[in-house]
Amino acid sequence: MEVHTGSSKARVERLEGLSFKVYIHSAPEKGKANKELIEAISDYFGVTKGEVEIVSGLRSKKKMVNIMSI
């Protein structure tokens, strides 16, 4: 998953296979971008925020995310 910050609107784009690009508004400071990423992913897949976990890449634009109910 590739995350792009500074977008005017949060959205998720599916790429090939299981790859996604996520655009979020928040800046990558004090965990704000990661929180918004979790919200965007949970909305896109129709799951709760508690079911979305960032497995790796907490401080990177490239992240691995686990969705527990999928």
> Is the torsion defined by CA of 60, 3, 17, 49 positive or negative?
positive
Domain range list for the chain: 2-67
How many CB atoms within 10 Å of residue 49? 12
- Locate 65 and state its tokens: 């995310």
Report the predicted TM-score, pTM, of the whole model to 2 decimal places: 0.89
The pLDDT of residue 69: 79
In 1-70, beta strands by DSSP E: 2-4, 11-14, 20-23, 52-56, 64-67
The string of pLDDT tens digits covering residues 13-61 is 999 988 999 999 998 899 999 999 999 999 999 999 999 999 999 999 9
- Assign domain 2-67 to its CATH architecture: 2-Layer Sandwich (3.30)
